A and B are shown apart, each in its own frame.
Chain A
Amino acid sequence: MTWQGWFQIGLYLAVLTALVPLLGGYMARVYLGQRVVLERVLGPVERGFYRAVRTRPDREQDWKQYAITTLVFSTLFWLVLYAILRLQGVLPFNPLRFSGAPWNVTFNTTSSFITSSDWQYYGGETTMSHCSQMAGLAVQNFVSAGVGMAVLAAVIRGFARRDTDRLGNFWVDLTRTLLYILLPLSAIGTLLLVSQGVVQTFTGSVTLTSLHGFEQVLALGPVASQIAIKQLGTNGGGFFNVNSSFPFENATTFSNFVEALFILLIPAAATYQYGKMIGRVRQGWALYVAMLLLLGVGIFNAYYQEARPTPALTAAGVTAPAVAGSTGGTMQDKEQRYGIANSTLWASVTTAASNGSVNSGHEAYSGLGGLTPLSLMMTGEVIFGGVGSGLYGMLLMVLLTVFIAGLMVGRTPEYLGKKIQAREVKLVAIGSLYMPVIVLIAAAIAIGAPAGQKSIYDAGPQGFSETLYAYVSQGNNNGSAFAGYTGFVQPNAPGNKGATGVPLADLLGGTVMLVCRFIPMLAALAVAGSLAAKRPAPAGPGTFRTDSPVFIVLLIGVIVIVAALSFLPALALGPIVQGLTTQLF
């Protein structure tokens, strides 16, 4: 570890924190229906969209109607995306003449992008036409993010309102998210990235003879416009197989900072948006602080572990320390320009947020270093988490904490003055326990079934870690991977001919992603629906404050305990074993 490394990490967190109230306040304006500057330009587009989808923007929905519209919209979009990906061979913008991937791989990919997971079994540059990337996948980067943020806005209204069953209008929330938040930020991001060297062109590739006489093919494409929204929308699906470690996707140390910032920007700002919308800004900051502390532990662990050589490096004698002009540590599957600090910072933020883009190969991380990405996901993606989904997941954890605190002091639990009763607690239990159950069952099937073992690349406990990571990642809609784990076998043939999927991995993973996206979404909407109808009681002397340091500690405790109770035994079989031994497998 170096002081320069820590300074960069500190700078990153400082800039992020400074942007939280700016963007969060703006986002609150967007969802409260207040006028924003961009309406002068895009107002006609917004109103035209409402007419086209036949909605009256002043007509709000109750939680069930809101949920149905969300589900219908997502289901139909799933079908359309599936069709685009399968039919890419006959669709335009296909300069490298790729045919569609097999149906089971496409099932996985489609489910992955609809749920904002962006888990990728395929290699982007060797599988997807420009049409699939732009009109299929990049559209979902906007839309799946927009759906998550819209649902969050509705959930927050449930917490903020009283004596009503109305949570908002799905189409209004979606449209305003896309037009006034995601579109302008993506446009700014695209230009920042292009200025650094992230490519943006419709040329498929350039073939050249290198300085030393080798043929080299530069894969190109409309990359920057897709990468900007991939980071902002906590999607994470790369244009290239090695994602944001590839220089055409993440060109310089500056573009790396911008992309890493974009990963956490919206989920972090959402805490302030929440505070604004419920009229108590401190409540939002309390959640931000809890998230930041948990993230800080993750970053420290990853940086500390990766700054030392792994057993494989030690065995080979590759143990040079960090000195002037060299990073030391485990540089395996890491880029020189990012070094240890920026690789581990990225690995932490991309798994804290359910982003899942990577700028280093997570599989090469040491056993204990790999615990950071794994355990940040295992908290259920509530430490910042996905855009929208992270905060509504966190609000469920808040209610759980309030409930436990209420049990401890023997009072009816309250949050924001509203009584938390049996119905809410049941929904919270579903919303916080569904994930470990599904993930562990899926991982057990994948490890136990012979058909699942085809996906494993590394021998020994690392093979188990790969599998566990795969289903933790998909079950939390993250999308990062110990990338040796595969569900798609691609021979290096032109046009991607002869590629086959691994059915068990593809179908199991796709199903896990769908279930784990929509269960918490429905649970959160249902909780919001029942809270909206309640009338808050005025705070009294016995009221448990939910913006105090005590509450922050309690909340962190609940999050850690739920995750640890669920996953510690599984972690002991893979990463912890590897971290405790220098043995090679």
Chain B
Amino acid sequence: MRKDIVGSLVAIVLLTVGFGLVYPLAMTGVAQVTFNRQANGSQVERDGKVVGSHLIGQDFRKPVLENGKPKVDEDGNPVLEADPNWFQSRPSQSDYSANVTFFNNLGPNQKDLADLLKANLDAYLALERPHTPGLTAAGVPVDAVTTSASGVDPHISPANARIQANRIAAVRGAPLDRILTLVRQSTDERAIGVLGEPGVNVLELNLAVDKEFPVR
């Protein structure tokens, strides 16, 4: 027993130093040298300024104005709505926070969830239907109105992007073909052609669109 205690204490010190310091320090050193961009968050720059991460979704909404002033909710936070000039990310339960993350956590039979989804669906239809005539609830891709797991899903589905492309082409005065080409170029395909689902990277897409067709 006494031998076990002494041995354990020595082992605890050695294992903590080895696996708690040497291992992560060594891996950080190697990672910083071999994959510097990825190890630091795959940051995306525009005009020399960091504007985001390739992997983290962003907010493309704008404040709702009421009598010329930003509208606030009962907690005093500004009320936001989709900005029609930009491709919209998936809805987020965390306002696209990349440092305080949580799931939505409403279960499959929760009325609160149905209400939230209904509101998201109505907003999506109101935004897109003027530019995509005949769009109905049954045609709205599921990802466009559900919140993602991380709250910062960088992707939307290609079907969602195709619908939004009609609006972007109209409000930015761009040929639809060109916008759809940019959508394709911003799509992260299935890895090795097989894994996962294709997703359109909203930040990269908005950067590409804004470069060619600035907001009028």
Interface residues of A (CB under 8 A from B): 4, 7-8, 11, 49, 52-55, 68-69, 72-73, 76-77, 80, 123, 125-126, 134-136, 138-139, 142-143, 171, 174, 178, 183, 186-187, 190-191, 194-203, 205-206, 208-212, 214, 216-220, 222, 224-226, 240-242, 245-248, 251-254, 256-257, 309-313, 315-320, 323-339, 341-343, 358-361, 363-367, 369-370, 457-462, 465-466, 482-484, 492, 578, 581-585
The verdict on B43 contacting chain A, using a C-beta distance below 8 Å, is yes
Which residue from chain B places its CB closest to the CB of A174 in the assembled complex?
Answer: B11
Shortest 10 CB-CB distances between A and B: which pairs? A253-B196, A462-B107, A135-B20, A245-B149, A325-B158, A339-B197, A361-B103, A310-B108, A316-B117, A325-B159
Is the Cβ of A336 less than 8 Å from the Cβ of B41? Answer: no
Nearest chain A CB to B28's CB is how many angstroms away? Answer: 5
A247 touches B152 (CB 8 A): yes
Q: Is the CB of B8 within 8 A of A462?
A: no
Q: Check if B59 sits within 8 Å of A197, measured CB to CB.
A: no
B173 within 8 A of A: no
Contact A326 B143 (CB under 8 A): yes
A364 x B35 contact (CB < 8 A):
no
Contacts of B140 in A (CB 8 A): 318, 320
- Contact yes or no, B51 A318, CB < 8 A: no
> Other than the known A245-B103, A332-B117, what 17 A-B pairs have Cβ atoms closer than 8 Å?
A73-B7, A134-B24, A197-B54, A211-B52, A225-B23, A242-B151, A252-B191, A253-B197, A310-B109, A315-B118, A318-B140, A320-B142, A332-B146, A335-B150, A336-B143, A584-B109, A585-B111
* B-chain residues with CB within 8 Å of residue A199 when the two chains form the complex: 38-41
Q: List 5 A-B contacts (CB under 8 A).
A: A209-B49, A247-B152, A313-B117, A364-B106, A483-B105
B90 lies within 8 A of chain A by Cβ: yes
Task: Give CA–CA (A136, B97) in the complex, Å.
Answer: 26
Whose C-beta in chain B lies nearest to the C-beta of A492? B100
Q: Which of B52-110 contact A (CB under 8 A)?
A: 52-56, 58-62, 83, 86, 90, 96-110
User: In whole angstroms, how far apart are the Cα atoms of A467 and B212 in the complex?
Assistant: 52
Q: Establish whether residues A335 and B138, one from each chain, have CB atoms under 8 Å apart when the complex forms.
A: no
Known: A318-B137, A324-B159, A361-B103. A242 touches B8 (CB 8 A): no
Structural contact, A218 and B142, CB atoms closer than 8 A: no
Q: Mark B1-20, 1 if CB is under 8 A from A, else 0.
A: 10111111111101110011
Contact of A202 among B1, B28, B61 (CB under 8 A): B28
Q: Indicate if the CB atoms of B5 and A361 lie closer than 8 Å.
A: no
Instruction: List residues of chain A with CB within 8 A of the CB of B142.
Output: 309, 313, 318, 320, 326-331
Which of B11, B83, B195 is within 8 Å of A53, CB to CB?
B11
Are A253 and B191 in contact (CB-based, < 8 A)? Answer: yes
Write the chain B residue with the least CB distance to A246: B150
By beta carbon, the residue of chain B nearest A141 is B19
Contact partner of B83 among A54, A212, A327, A583, CB < 8 A? A212
Q: B41 to A214, Cβ gap below 8 A? A: no
A200 touches B19 (CB 8 A): no
Question: Is B168 engaged at the interface, CB distance under 8 Å to the other chain?
Answer: no
> How many Å lie between the Cα of A363 and that of B155 in the bound state?
22
CB distance from A318 to the nearest CB of B (A): 5
Q: CB distance A460 to B109 under 8 Å?
A: yes
* Chain A residues whose CB sits within 8 angstroms of the CB of B61 once the complex forms: 212
Docked-complex contact A72 and B56, CB < 8 angstroms: no
A317 to B52, CA, bound (A): 34
A8 vs B99: C-alpha distance in the bound complex, in angstroms?
Answer: 32
Q: With A53-B11, A195-B38, A310-B108 as known contacts, state yes or no: A209 contacts B152, CB within 8 Å.
A: no
CA distance A243 to B37 in the complex (A): 22
What's the nearest-Cβ distance from chain B to residue A88, in Å?
13
Partner of B145, one of A139, A256, A318: A318
CB pair A364 B108 closer than 8 Å: yes
Q: For residue A126, which residues in chain B have a CB less than 8 angstroms away from its CB?
A: 99-100
Q: A220-B41, A336-B90 are in contact. Are A191 and B147 (CB under 8 A)?
A: no
Evaluate contact between A73 and B11: CB separation under 8 angstroms: yes
Is A336 a contact partner of B15 (Cβ separation < 8 A)?
no
| Chain B residue nearest to A130 in the complex (CB) | B24
Decide yes or no whether B178 CB sits under 8 A from chain A: no
Q: B170 within 8 Å of A by Cβ?
A: no
Q: Which residue of A lies closest to B116 (CB)?
A: A316
Residues of A within 8 A of B137 (CB): 317-319
Chain A positions within 8 Å of B62 at CB level: 212
With contacts A191-B30, A315-B114 taken as known, whether A331 is within 8 angstroms of B146 at the C-beta atoms is yes
Task: Report the bound CA distance from A209 to B61 in whole Å.
Answer: 14
Known: A49-B14, A584-B110, A585-B110. A337 touches B197 (CB 8 A): yes
Q: Which residue of B lies closest to A198 (CB)?
A: B38
How far apart are the CA atoms of A242 and B196 in the complex, in Å?
Answer: 19
CB of B106 within 8 A of CB of A363, answer yes
Contacts of B121 in A (CB 8 A): 316-318
Residues of A within 8 A of B42 (CB): 197, 251
Contact B149 A334 (CB under 8 A): yes
B40 CB, min distance to chain A CBs, angstroms: 5
Min CB–CB distance A387 → chain B (angstroms): 15
Q: Is the CB of B108 within 8 A of A333?
A: no
Query: Considering the chains assembled together, what is the distance between the CA atoms of A142 and B27 in angstroms?
Result: 15
Residue ID in chain B nearest A361 by CB atoms: B103
